[in-house]
Amino acid sequence: MIRKAIFRKKSLERIEMSNAYSLYQIIKYLLWIISILFMMQTLGISITVLLAGSAALLVGIGLGLQQTFNDFISGIILLIEGTTKIGDVLEVDGVVVKIQEIGIRTSKGLTRDDIVVIIPNSYITTNKVINWSHQSKKTRFRINVGVAYGSDVDLVVKVLETSALEHPEIGNKEHIEARFVDFGNSSLDFQLLFFSDNVFRIEKIKSEIRKIINRKFIENNITIPFPQVDLHVRDVPGTIHG
């Protein structure tokens, strides 16, 4: 009944889906606690006596399950605070995941490889975690590329910018920018900057833009160099050549 009341269409019009989910989880856990306490009272079990009699045991269990309790408290914080919600894209320990479920002890996320990852809630609350969904609707990304010395710099900039313009998912097309960033050891280094709101699948978008860049470089005779080493051989006096 509570689930139907919270997730019905009219309720969702007033609150976000992620907030509705947090509210439902909190109410569910509170009802479980109240129900267990009520059952124990009905069976004639005194909570006060039970806690007093098992105080030493509870201390031992508490020390042994300290991390578990930490995860429980962190789960409550996540549900109440709302800094992390269902559907948020997080970067956890270098891995990008989309949060599918926030439980009382662990949260479930989906990686870009469609692998389900179980994350302890305490890890999210106590470690440095990037929440890409807290950014503005569109986030800026970059692609690095080097071209051979002697290339027409203006032509390279034009090709990079038009390559990004060809992709249908690139937002803020007026903010697409290609920069000549450095003189590399064996290349002129450029950077293509663009905005996209598809943060979770951005690597796929980058790959598609790189394909466009490669095609346009071939069409415009722009070469992507590879490292080369010049080897000089000298004759050493007294050496006998066979």
Sheet bearing 95-102, strands edge to edge: 116-120, 106-111, 95-102, 89-92, 130-131
Helix (H, G, I), strand (E, B) or coil at 97: strand
| CA distance to 47, 49, 63, 192, per residue, from 42 (Å) | 11, 15, 31, 69
pLDDT > 90: percent of the chain: 27
What's residue 43's pLDDT? 78
Other C-beta atoms closer than 10 Å to the C-beta of 95 total 14
pLDDT per residue as tens digits for the range 102-160: 887 888 999 988 889 999 988 888 888 888 877 656 778 999 999 999 999 999 999 99
β-pairing, 177-183 vs 188-196, is antiparallel
pLDDT greater than 80 at residue 22: no
pLDDT number for residue 27: 76
Please report, for the chain, the start and end positions of each structural domain, with discontinuous segments joined by +: 2-133, 139-219
Q: Which range has highest mean pLDDT (15-19, 145-149, 183-187)?
A: 145-149
Is the CB of residue 100 less than 8 Å from the CB of residue 109? yes
Fold of the domain spanning 139-219: Alpha-Beta Plaits (3.30.70)
Choice between 169 and 181, residue whose per-residue pLDDT is larger: 181
CA distance 95 to 140: 19
Task: List all residues 6 or more positions away from 188 whose beta carbon is below 8 Å from its beta carbon.
Answer: 146, 147, 148, 149, 151, 153, 156, 180
Strands 116-120 and 106-111: antiparallel
Looking at CATH, the fold of the domain delimited by 2-133 is given as SH3 type barrels. (2.30.30)
Cβ 105 vs Cβ 72: under 8 Å: yes
pLDDT bin (cut points 50, 70, 90) of residue 14 is very low
The type of residue at 134 is: H
Which secondary structure element, helix H or strand E, spans residue 145, and what is its range? strand 139-147
